[in-house]
Amino acid sequence: MTEFEVVQPPADGISSMSFSPAPANFLMVTSWDQTVRLYDVVSNTMRTKFDVSCPVLSGCISSPIQGYSGGLDGVIRSHDFNSGTEATLGSHKEAARCLDYNSSKNVVLSGSWDKTVQLWDPREKTGQPQQTANLPDKVYTMSTNGDKLVVGTAGRHVWIYDVRKLDVPEQRRESSLKFQTRYLKMNAAGTGYVVASIDGRVAVELLDPAPEAQSQKYAFKCHRVKQDGQDIIYPINALAYHPVHGTFASGGCDGMVNVWDGAKRKRLCQFHKYPTSVSSLAFSHDGFYLAVAASYTYEEGERDHPGDAIYIRETTDEETMPK
């Protein structure tokens, strides 16, 4: 196992990480320190950095030379990594909490605390979204793949859309988990998703609404430790699917990363404990690298905590391949 720290990490909370598609292994990182950074993990260098006028809550990368970010000011920005230039796609009325890139449609989707999801065509320079979905609650998390978009909002609601028609959701669901949704991620096949909550649970869900498909969904406890006969429960902040093996990793406020075989309902491995909360996870396009952001998420309020760091782990089949 080889693992190393990325040079020149952000100076404040790491809010998102995403790897570029093939062939490069570039990692885009957004942060509360008002920066968007691009790293080359092979050479362990920071290629470029953008200074933004507010904390950056979310980001996604469409190619080795193009990325997008969403800020606390609601603005969706595009970043040209080659030229170092920045442009505005548009904006929300409140913070842009989450961003995702849909490679099959070449569009950017943004979810906001203003209770909307907006779809942006980066080729259009109008400053207006192509489509808007209006929701009853703040958007906390979302994930897109193929024609589908899954959105997690306040109130434990999950909304499933066809990205070609955002005006009406295909399905309205209540999360299988009893507590607030923290993060969700669609699988590589586009057939389902995993969702995590603040009470240390993960649910594995299928998009197919048929009863026989829904009978296969399940939830399990993780990121918990027993101490003095009591369960200490940690929120789960991050989920990432392996692009080849279909397994997934979870990261929590306990500083741990687990890798799961969702089909066989078993844990494949658990990595060593990181210095503080795991705030974000990202697999590279081939699954060889796993980026782990160790960044305190203030689950225990204001206190002294380790500095922010990003670890790059070279994963093995033993860690990530179904047995």
The domain that holds 210 is classified in CATH as 2.130.10.10
Q: What is the pTM of this model?
A: 0.95
Confidence check: pLDDT of 140 > 70: yes
Count up the domains in the chain and report the number.
1
User: According to the model, what pLDDT value does residue 230 have?
Assistant: 87
For 212, phi then psi, to 5°, come to -65, -35
Question: What is the three-class DSSP state of 154?
Answer: helix
Confidence check: pLDDT of 55 > 70: yes
Where does the pLDDT of residue 176 fall: very low under 50, low under 70, confident under 90, or very high at 90 and above? confident
Where does the pLDDT of residue 298 fall: very low under 50, low under 70, confident under 90, or very high at 90 and above? confident
Confidence check: pLDDT of 15 > 70: yes
Where does the pLDDT of residue 1 fall: very low under 50, low under 70, confident under 90, or very high at 90 and above? low
The whole-angstrom separation of Cα 22 and Cα 123 is 21
User: According to the model, what pLDDT value does residue 299 have?
Assistant: 78
- Encode pLDDT of 206-216 as tens digits: 999 999 999 99
**CA distances in angstroms from 33 to 8, 9, 120, 197, 289, listed in the order given:** 13, 10, 25, 26, 25
Question: Using an 8 Å Cβ cutoff, are 140 and 149 in contact?
Answer: no
Q: What is the mean pLDDT of residues 60-82?
A: 97
Confidence check: pLDDT of 300 > 80: no
For 106, phi then psi, to 5°, come to 55, 50
- For the chain, the distance separating the N- and C-terminal CA atoms, rounded to the nearest angstrom, is 19
Q: What is the mean pLDDT of residues 21-44?
A: 97
Look up the domain containing 73 and give its range: 2-299+306-320
